[in-house]
């Protein structure tokens, strides 16, 4: 275990940097989740007329393709962050997100421009996929680097606080629009308001992020990089075990997370038979509880370690998935549905609250953003981004319950990874790099 020698930054600056990074993260994820929240309204706008499940499959397909761009975003913006700075990469990512949201808000429907409409929708999601792929890795890296060691889990948990808050804001906008607009108005043009709000919010964040401090870890690594190795695939290749660890620990967490967040609202409407407004309220209230749990569990990880939290998620996630989704499929009671969503989300919080910091602690500063972003985005693209599509595909095939067992199997696979990995709280590269900044030689393999 290493000793952190760095002089801690003033508490006010730490909080200010965390807030600036978090607000930007919120807007980025609002833009990303607005697509999922409003797809039940704009599916018929961008695709030919058909049954509801078929149209949702089309929008889910575009949603999944957007996820396929996240590894590219993790690679491009991760490399950019490791070479030119966390602040520069975070500014670029929010600019791309603003462009994608504005394109969705302004694109005419299929009835007006035919196939060009879904093509432009796809283009917008590709741009947003690149943006969010880089946003996660760079914000995870930045927030972990600027946080104090003793509270790194707590501060880093705010990445998921703002990630979910972005989804909550998207749902809040949806609920407000549902109250003031008719269903026909929502389907016709009301959903465009949500994407206009996202584009405007991203421009405001662009201005805020220009005032962020660069992390001291990056500044030190940049000065030491005499051969231009920072942020390269060659440098990442020095850490194959950590690359595989990020893939393995992410796949179960991301599939479980997207099942109980972005997909569950459609599940309630399309399978349980709950009305769209009621499902939106259930989703909103459950996610409020989920947000509150993030810093609590993050702080807990600073006391008990990261690995016990991950194991708890793996065990409980494996046990709870099939019964919770089976019961939810057969209930129209809003209170019961709220409980069946909230309990699994509480289980998920054991993973999401420390997801960012665990990954950041696995890699040295020289390749941290790329090391977090590329394998994480690959896992999310393969398992998280396809969750909704696979679930709807099983439903259309008449075997919806098979999806429940699929989620269970993937979570169990991640549990096996958690059981074998070391606790990053005590073997952190961030701690090792802090020591190296003050004169010690920088190690080439994971400390601990």
Burial of residue 232 (CB within 10 Å: 0-12, 13-18, 19+) is middle
Looking at residues 19-26, what average pLDDT do you find?
Answer: 77
Domains of the chain: 11-214+240-436 (1.20.1250.20)
Is pLDDT above 70 for 358? Answer: yes
Q: Other C-beta atoms within 10 Å of 275: how many?
A: 12
CA–CA distance from 164 to each of 194, 273, 291, 303, 434 (Å)? Answer: 17, 25, 6, 24, 31
Looking at residues 335-363, what average pLDDT do you find?
Answer: 93
CA 85 to CA 79: how far, in whole Å?
Answer: 9
Burial of residue 226 (CB within 10 Å: 0-12, 13-18, 19+) is exposed
* pLDDT for residue 447: 44
Q: 445 versus 205: which is more confidently predicted?
A: 205
CA 266 to CA 288: how far, in whole Å?
Answer: 19
Which residues, including other chains, have CB under 8 Å from residue 335's CB and lie 6 or more apart? Answer: none
Which percentage of the chain shows pLDDT scores above 90?
Answer: 29
* pLDDT for residue 10: 52
* pLDDT for residue 13: 65
Q: Are 264 and 387 in contact (CB under 8 A)?
A: no
CA–CA distance from 222 to each of 70, 366, 380 (Å)? Answer: 25, 8, 29
Is pLDDT above 50 for 439? Answer: no
The DSSP code for 400 is: T
CA 211 to CA 197: how far, in whole Å?
Answer: 23
Of 142, 214, 212, 138, residue with least CA distance to 369: 138
Q: What is the pLDDT of residues 78-102, one digit of tens each?
A: 888 888 888 888 888 888 988 998 9
- Stretch among 147-151, 153-157, 257-261, 354-358 having the lowest mean pLDDT: 147-151
Q: What is the pLDDT of residues 285-327, one digit of tens each?
A: 999 999 999 999 999 999 999 999 999 999 999 999 999 999 9
Of 303, 340, 343, 345, residue with least CA distance to 325: 340
Burial of residue 151 (CB within 10 Å: 0-12, 13-18, 19+) is middle
Residue 231 corresponds to which tokens in the numbers above? 């942020």
Specify the 3-state DSSP secondary structure of 88: helix
* pLDDT for residue 44: 76
Is pLDDT above 70 for 267? Answer: yes
The model's pTM is 0.79
How many Å separate Cα 380 from the centre of its chain?
Answer: 8
Is pLDDT above 90 for 347? Answer: yes
Which residues, including other chains, have CB under 8 Å from residue 337's CB and lie 6 or more apart? Answer: 268, 272, 274, 279, 282, 328, 331
CA–CA distance from 355 to each of 29, 81, 236, 310 (Å)? Answer: 16, 19, 20, 9
- Stretch among 110-119, 129-138, 220-229, 332-341 having the lowest mean pLDDT: 220-229
Is pLDDT above 90 for 5? Answer: no
Of 440, 447, 250, 285, residue with least CA distance to 358: 250
* pLDDT for residue 180: 92
Is pLDDT above 50 for 440? Answer: no
């Amino acid at each position: 275990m290493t000793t952190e020698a760095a002089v801690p930054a003033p508490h006010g600056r730490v909080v200010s940097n965390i807030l600036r990074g978090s607000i930007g993260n919120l807007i980025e994820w609002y833009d990303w989740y607005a697509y999922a929240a409003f797809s039940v309204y704009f599916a018929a706008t961008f695709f030919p007329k058909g049954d509801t499940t078929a149209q949702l499959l089309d929008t889910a397909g575009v949603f999944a393709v957007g996820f396929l761009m996240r590894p590219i975003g993790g690679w491009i913006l991760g490399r950019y962050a490791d070479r030119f700075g966390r602040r520069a990469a975070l500014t670029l990512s929010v600019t791309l997100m603003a462009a994608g949201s504005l394109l969705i808000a302004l694109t005419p429907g299929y009835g007006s421009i035919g196939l060009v409409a879904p093509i432009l929708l796809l283009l917008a999601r590709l741009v947003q996929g690149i943006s969010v792929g880089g946003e996660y890795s760079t914000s995870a890296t930045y927030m972990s680097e600027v946080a104090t060691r003793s509270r790194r889990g707590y501060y880093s948990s705010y990445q998921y606080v703002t990630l979910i808050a972005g989804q909550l804001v998207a749902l809040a906008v949806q609920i407000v629009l549902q109250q003031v607009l008719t269903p026909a108005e929502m389907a016709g043009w009301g959903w465009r308001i949500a994407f206009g709000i996202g584009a405007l919010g991203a421009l405001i964040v662009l201005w805020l992020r220009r005032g962020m401090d660069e992390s001291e870890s990056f500044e030190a690594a940049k000065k030491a990089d005499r051969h231009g190795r920072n942020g390269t695939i060659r440098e990442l290749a020095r850490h194959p075990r950590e690359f595989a660890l990020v893939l393995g620990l992410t796949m179960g967490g991301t599939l479980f997370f997207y099942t109980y967040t972005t997909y569950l609202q459609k599940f309630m409407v399309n399978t349980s038979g709950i009305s769209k407004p009621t499902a939106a309220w259930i989703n909103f209230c459950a996610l409020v509880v989920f947000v509150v749990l993030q810093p609590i569990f993050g702080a807990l990880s600073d006391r008990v370690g990261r690995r016990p939290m991950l194991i708890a998620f793996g065990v409980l996630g494996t046990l709870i998935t099939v019964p919770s989704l089976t019961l939810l499929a057969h209930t129209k009671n809003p209170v019961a549905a709220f409980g069946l969503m909230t309990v699994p989300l509480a289980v998920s919080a054991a993973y999401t609250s420390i997801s960012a910091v665990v990954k950041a602690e696995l890699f040295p500063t020289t390749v941290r953003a790329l090391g977090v972003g590329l394998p994480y985005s690959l896992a999310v693209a393969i398992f998280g981004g396809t969750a909704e599509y696979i679930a709807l595909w099983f439903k259309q095939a008449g075997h919806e319950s098979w999806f429940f067992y699929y989620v269970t199997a993937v979570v169990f696979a991640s549990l096996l990874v958690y059981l074998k990995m070391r606790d990053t709280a005590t073997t952190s590269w961030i701690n090792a790099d802090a020591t190296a900044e003050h004169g010690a030689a920088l190690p080439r393999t994971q400390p601990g």
